Amino acid sequence: MGTTVTGPGTPDADLARQLTALRDQLDRQSATAAALREQEERFRLAFDVSLVGMAIESLDPYEPGRILRVNEEFCHLLGRTADDLVGRGTPDFAVPDDRAGITDVLGAFARGELERWEGERRYLRPDGEEVRAHVRKGLVHTQRGADYLVSHFEDVTERHRAEQELLHLALHDQLTGLPNRHLLDDHLGAALARARRDGTHVALLFLDLDDFKDVNDVLGHQAGDAVLVTVAHRVRDAIREADTAARYGGDEFVVVCETLHDAAEAEVVAQRLIDAVSTPLPLAGRTIVPRTSVGITVCGPGEPRTAEVLLSEADAALYEAKLSGKNQRARFTHALRTAANRRLDVEEDLRAALGDDELRVHYQPIVDLRDGAVIAAEALVRWQHPVRGLLAPVEFIDVAEQSDLIADLGEWVLREAGACLARWQREGQEVRTPALVAVVPPPHRLAVSVNASVRQVSSGRLRRSVEAVLADNGLLPGELHIEITETQFMSAAPAIQREMAALSDLGVGLSLDDFGTGYSSLAYLKRLPFNCVKLDRSYVSGIGVNPGDEALVDAVLALAGSLGLHTVAEGVETPAQERYLRERGCGYAQGYLYSPPVLGTRPPERAS
pLDDT tens digits for 141-154? 876 666 889 999 99
Long-range Cβ contacts of 53-56 (<8 Å, 24+ apart) = 53/77, 53/78, 53/133, 53/152, 53/153, 53/154, 53/155, 54/150, 54/151, 54/152, 54/153, 55/85, 55/90, 55/150, 55/151, 55/153, 56/148, 56/149, 56/150, 56/151
pLDDT at 434 over 50: no
Residue 163 burial (C-beta neighbours within 10 Å; 0-12, 13-18, 19+): exposed
State the Cα–Cα distance between residues 563 and 557, nearest whole angstrom: 10
Q: Residue 379: count other Cβ atoms within 10 Å of its Cβ.
A: 23
pLDDT at 432 over 60: no
Question: For 184-189, what is the mean pLDDT?
Answer: 93
pLDDT (0 to 100) of residue 294: 97
pLDDT at 438 over 50: no
When pLDDT is cut at 50, 70 and 90, the band that residue 35 belongs to is low
CA dihedral 547, 548, 553, 556 (to 10 degrees): 150
Beta strands in 453-540 (DSSP E): 480-485, 509-515, 532-535
Name the average pLDDT for the chain: 87
- Provide the 8-state DSSP code for 415: H
* Region of poorest pLDDT, from 14-23, 26-35, 450-459, 463-472: 26-35
Higher pLDDT, 427 or 97: 97
pLDDT (0 to 100) of residue 585: 93
Fold of 176-332: Alpha-Beta Plaits (3.30.70)
pTM of the model: 0.61
pLDDT (0 to 100) of residue 248: 94
Q: Which CATH class is domain 51-161?
A: alpha beta
Among 344, 341, 380, 345, CA closest to 363? 380
When pLDDT is cut at 50, 70 and 90, the band that residue 2 belongs to is low
Helix (H) or strand (E) holding 67: strand 67-70
Q: What is the pLDDT of residues 394-426, one digit of tens each?
A: 899 988 887 778 889 999 999 999 999 999 988
pLDDT (0 to 100) of residue 521: 52
Q: What is the pLDDT of residues 329-377, one digit of tens each?
A: 999 998 887 887 888 889 999 999 998 999 999 999 999 999 899 999 9
Q: Residue 513: count other Cβ atoms within 10 Å of its Cβ.
A: 24
For residue 115, the SS3 value is: coil
- Report the percent of the chain where pLDDT is more than 90: 59
Q: How many helices (H) and strands (E) does the chain have?
A: 20, 22
- Report the percent of the chain where pLDDT is more than 70: 88
CATH superfamily membership of 357-599: EAL domain (3.20.20.450)
Q: What is the pLDDT of residues 451-466, one digit of tens each?
A: 998 878 877 789 999 9
Q: What secondary structure does DSSP assign to 313-356, as a single string? A: HHHHHHHHHHHTTSS-EEE--HHHHHHHHHHHHHHHHHHHHTTT
Question: For 487-516, what is the mean pLDDT?
Answer: 79
* Region of poorest pLDDT, from 20-29, 179-188, 214-223: 20-29
For residue 206, the SS3 value is: strand
pLDDT at 114 over 60: yes
pLDDT at 29 over 80: no
pLDDT at 605 over 90: no
Among 455, 430, 454, CA closest to 442? 430
State the Cα–Cα distance between residues 15 and 480, nearest whole angstrom: 130
When pLDDT is cut at 50, 70 and 90, the band that residue 32 belongs to is low
Among 58, 156, 64, CA closest to 107? 64
For residue 81, the SS3 value is: coil
Q: Checking phi first, is residue 128 left (phi over 0); if not, alpha (psi -120 to 50) or beta?
A: left
When pLDDT is cut at 50, 70 and 90, the band that residue 45 belongs to is low
Q: What is the pLDDT of residues 61-111, one digit of tens each?
A: 788 889 999 999 999 999 999 999 999 999 999 999 999 999 999 999 988
List the chain domain ranges: 51-161, 176-332, 357-599
Higher pLDDT, 469 or 145: 469
Using CA atoms, how far residue 423 sits from 417, 440, 441, in Å, is 10, 20, 17
When pLDDT is cut at 50, 70 and 90, the band that residue 436 belongs to is very low
Higher pLDDT, 284 or 128: 128
Please list the helix, strand and coil fractions of the chain in percent, rounded to the nearest 5, in that order. 45, 25, 30
Among 261, 334, 336, 331, CA closest to 294? 331
pLDDT (0 to 100) of residue 443: 43
Using CA atoms, how far residue 168 sits from 1, 179, 251, in Å, is 103, 9, 21
When pLDDT is cut at 50, 70 and 90, the band that residue 439 belongs to is very low
Question: For 213-236, what is the mean pLDDT?
Answer: 90
Entry field: residues in the chain: 608
pLDDT (0 to 100) of residue 444: 45
State the Cα–Cα distance between residues 577 and 591, nearest whole angstrom: 11
State the Cα–Cα distance between residues 482 and 480, nearest whole angstrom: 7
State the Cα–Cα distance between residues 447 and 366, nearest whole angstrom: 10
| Cα three-residue angle 294-299-302, rounded to 5 degrees | 175
Question: For 160-181, what is the mean pLDDT?
Answer: 93
State the Cα–Cα distance between residues 603 and 224, nearest whole angstrom: 48
